[in-house]
Amino acid sequence: MPLLHVTDMSHNFGGLQAVSEYNLSLDPGQITGLIGPNGAGKTTIFNLITGLYRPTKGSVRFDGEELVGKKLNETAAMGLARTFQEMKLWRHMTVLEHIKMARYSKLSYGLMGAFLGTPKRRREERKVTELAMEYLKMFAVDQVADQLVVNLPYGDQRRVEMARALVIEPKVLLLDEPTVGMTPDEMMAMIEVIRKAHERFNLAIFLIEHRLQVVRELCQHVQALVFGQVLVEGKSDEVQNHPKVIEAYIGEQEVEF
Amino acid sequence: MTFTFLMQNLINALQWGSFYALIAMGYSMVYSILMLFNFAHGDIFMVGAYIGLGVSLGLLSLFGTGAAAILPGWVLLVLTILISMFLTAFVGIIVERVGYRPLREAPRASAAITGLMIGIMLETGNILFLGGQRFKFPQLHQFIAHTKWGMAMRAMAYDYVVVPLVGVPMNTIAAMTFAIGSALAAAAGILFGLAYPVLDPYMGVSFGWKAFVAAILGGRGSIMGACLAGFMLGFIEIMTVPAIQIMNRLFSLNIGSNLRDLIAYSIVLVILVFRPHGLFGQAYSSKLRL
Identify the closest residue of chain A to B151 by CA–CA distance: A101
Bridge partners of B8, per DSSP, are none
- Has residue B151 got a pLDDT over 70? yes
Long-range Cβ contacts of B261-269 (<8 Å, 24+ apart): B261/B237, B264/B233, B264/B236, B264/B237, B264/B240, B265/B213, B267/B236, B268/B213, B268/B217, B268/B233, B268/B236
Which structural domain, as residue segments, surrounds residue B156? 3-274
Q: Which residues of B touch A164 (CB under 8 A)?
A: 166
Entry pTM: 0.68
- Has residue B169 got a pLDDT over 70? yes
Q: Which residues of B touch A104 (CB under 8 A)?
A: 148, 151-152, 166-168
* Domain assignment present for B284: no
Question: Nearest CA of chain A to the CA of B170: how many Å?
Answer: 8
* Domain assignment present for B283: no
* Domain assignment present for B280: no
Cβ atoms of B229 and B289 within 8 Å: the answer is: no
- Of B67 and A187, more confident: A187
Identify the closest residue of chain B to A166 by CA–CA distance: B166
* Domain assignment present for B285: no
Scanning A48-107 for CB atoms below 8 A from B yields: 50, 52, 71-73, 76-77, 81-82, 84, 88-93, 97, 100-102, 104-105, 107
pLDDT under 50: residue ranges of chain A: 253-257
CATH number for the segment(s) A4-254: 3.40.50.300
B117-147 tens-digit pLDDT: 777 777 776 666 655 433 334 456 667 777 7
Q: Which residues of A52-75 are buried (b: 16+ CB within 10 A; e: fewer)?
A: bbebeebebbbbeeebbebebbbb
Question: Is this prediction's ipTM beyond 0.90?
Answer: no
Number of domains composing chain B: 1
Task: Choose the weakest-confidence range: B4-8, B98-102, B204-208.
Answer: B4-8
Question: Nearest CA of chain B to the CA of A91: how many Å?
Answer: 6
Q: What share of chain B in percent tops pLDDT 90?
A: 0
Note whether A119 contacts B: Cβ–Cβ < 8 A. Answer: no
Question: Nearest CA of chain A to the CA of B82: how many Å?
Answer: 15
* Domain assignment present for B132: yes
Contact state of A52 with B161 under an 8 Å Cβ cutoff: yes
